[in-house]
Amino acid sequence: MVPCTDPLTSSSQTADKQQVSQEQLHADAEATLINYGVEFNKNIIVRAEGLYIYNPSGHRMLDWTSGQMSCLLGHGNTEIVDVISEHAARLDHLFSGMLSPPVINLGKRLTGLTPSGLDKAIFLSTGGESNEFAIRIAKFFTGKFEIVGLSASWHGVTGAAIGAQYHSGRAGYGPVMPGNFALPAPNAYRSIFRHPDGTYDWETELNYGFSLIDRQSCGSLAAVILEPILSSGGMHTLPPGYLKALKQHCEERGMLMIIDEAQTAIGRAGDMFAFQHYAEDEGVVPDILTLSKTLGNGIPLSAVVVSDEVAEKTKKDGFMYYTTHLNDPLPAAVGDKVLEIVVRDGLVNQSRELGKVLQEGLKKLQSRYGCIGDVRGRGLMAGVEIVTDRVTKTPGFELGNKIGERMAELGVWAQLGTHQSFAGVFRIAPPITITEEELREGLEIMEQAFESTEGSMPLY
């Protein structure tokens, strides 16, 4: 096997040899790496810097997914790099029963930003792990075991998390944990629940969903888990008032509410935490909040925040959750710096204001190309749904892939989801450090991609 080298640091700089390098990298990957349910992208990325990612030929693309929706402050942020370097040298990893200043500092800073009722935190590694912890502590606190999720949800692939996940990943592995139920996921574009005037009737949909759950439950409903914006499910925002209505359903049944803000928190959706957005949901605080992705800016870091009541009762009753990288100092120091930068630089407001520019630009594209069925989202988090017919809303998977490939060729990388519950939606989530000029550059490239792709159905 030819040794795997970084083409950008190779002595050869000719286009032919760079192309051979990429082909060899793909061959090495095929020979040595396990496929995990997605086709590897044809672009092997050899450098990520700021807002951009680079392939072996030096082709540069605006990274409009922030890696895996995680690099909130961009790739290689110098302040984050300094924190990683310092802690890698001086305070990287400890016995899980030991605490360190970075962990305590992050706990103070994070709970200083959350509302009352979200009072104590723990720091883990991934979003799946944080949701696993949240479900586990909810079961322990309530003494019940049934968990409700939304039908287009994504919460991770660990045991309890995937049991509450319905977007994909359930088939082919045998039974999931017992006691899982699904509510219809809010989808203003496609839901069959409509008022007589054709507008979305989410309240009837939610009430109907709970009526079915009540018929199936054995009387042990512990918690509901949901995202404020269903990212993997197609970038669908919850309707105004949805969280308040859901919280009432939970209280009537003695359930806890878990909100998973892996992708939406720390300013991504235009608020520090996305559950705080609507006036119609004012006063609603989840019993348990989970964070990941954006908190670590690409470093594996997640958090669970609970009320004093939950923390004190579960401590007294002997709750246990113990992992190797629990409360590790290095990632905690990164998370503390991320929060510091977001607050110091006013990035929540920047995301909110630039989100208006992004939505305006995407809706302008929608007015020009008939293949765009819907544009949605909030802050610097948007979804563009591709269809082959606006009347029938037939998903345009193949067309979307062609547009996405053309966008990448022109210099913007944005993921198109093709799972059935995703229905061919571009997920757009650039780092919130992006400037308006860079945002408009990306929108112009998108325009070029739609214009030059056959089947995009130009309207004028």
Burial class, 218, CB count within 10 angstroms (exposed 0-12 / middle 13-18 / buried 19+): exposed
Q: Is 202 a catalytic residue?
A: no
In a 13 Å sphere around the CA of 391, the CA atoms on its Cβ side amount to 0
Dihedral Cα 156, 380, 443, 449, nearest 10 deg: 10
**Cα separations in angstroms, 240 against 17, 188, 244, 282, 358:** 55, 12, 9, 10, 21
What value, to the nearest 5°, has the Cα angle with vertex 403 and ends 401 and 407? Answer: 115
The answer to whether 263 is a known catalytic residue is yes
Residue 154 designated active-site: yes
**Are residues 337 and 256 in contact, defined by beta-carbon separation less than 8 angstroms?**
no
Please, which residues have CB within 8 angstroms of residue 20's CB and are 6 or more apart in sequence? Answer: none
Q: Which residues pair with residue 458 across a beta bridge?
A: 369
Catalytic residue among 139, 293, 352, 376: 293
Q: Which of 154, 261, 366, 376 is catalytic?
A: 154
Give the H/E segment covering residue 291: strand 288-291
Q: Which of 336, 292, 332, 340 is nearest to 91 (CA)?
A: 332
Query: Does the annotation count 215 as an active-site position?
Result: no
Q: Which residues lie closer than 8 Å to 28 by C-beta, 6 or more apart?
A: 1, 2, 4
Catalytic residue among 63, 129, 205, 227: 227
- Could you confirm whether 427 is annotated as catalytic? yes
- Active-site residue (options: 18, 24, 263, 415): 263
Question: Using H for helix, E for strand and C for coil, what is the string for 210-230?
Answer: HHHHHHHCCCCEEEEEECCEE
Give catalytic residues, as residue numbers.
154, 227, 260, 263, 293, 427
